[in-house]
């Protein structure tokens, strides 16, 4: 019998495996990425305190007008720059990158590149 693979379930398994080793602190928070079919979301999280320091996504009102006509990779790069700018304003200079179980290519890599360009250190 043919059983269809649940790719999201496999991603969650990979993400939990990575999360056993990666945790954000107040000095070194975690930059977490979630990717859906249309949008991409990024959060800088302090896991010790249990709250989100800054966040950005393609649904942000600041980016809404700039993203029309761009492909998803370019939009992800802009989200990376925006989350890095917000993190630097909040006093965060270094983060741990949590790719969320996704392969480090395409939109996930472009978000990281945009954050690095804006001055965030991994």
Query: What pTM value is reported for the model?
Result: 0.91
Phi and psi at 57, nearest 5°, equal: -155, 175
Tokens 């989350």 — which residue? 83
What are the tokens at 10? 């496999």
Q: Which of 87, 89, 90 has its CA nearest to residue 121? A: 87
Find out whether 28 and 94 touch, Cβ atoms under 8 Å. yes
Distance CA 18, CA 31 (A): 13
Identify the residue whose tokens are 């996930």.
108
Q: What is the pLDDT along the chain (122 residues), one digit of tens a residue?
A: 899 999 999 999 999 999 999 998 889 999 999 999 999 999 999 999 999 999 999 999 999 889 998 999 999 999 999 999 999 999 999 999 999 999 999 999 999 999 999 999 99
């Amino acid at each position: 019998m043919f059983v269809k693979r649940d790719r999201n379930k496999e991603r969650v398994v990979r993400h939990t495996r990575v999360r056993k080793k990666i945790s954000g602190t107040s000095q070194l928070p975690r930059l977490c990425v979630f990717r859906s079919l249309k949008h991409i979301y990024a959060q800088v999280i302090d896991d010790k305190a249990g709250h989100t320091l800054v966040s950005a996504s393609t649904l942000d009102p600041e980016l809404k007008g700039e993203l029309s006509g761009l492909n998803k990779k370019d939009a992800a790069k802009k989200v990376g720059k925006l989350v890095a700018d917000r993190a630097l304003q909040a006093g965060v200079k270094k983060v741990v990158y949590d790719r969320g179980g996704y392969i480090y290519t395409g939109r996930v890599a472009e978000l990281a590149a945009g954050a690095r360009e804006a001055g965030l250190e991994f």
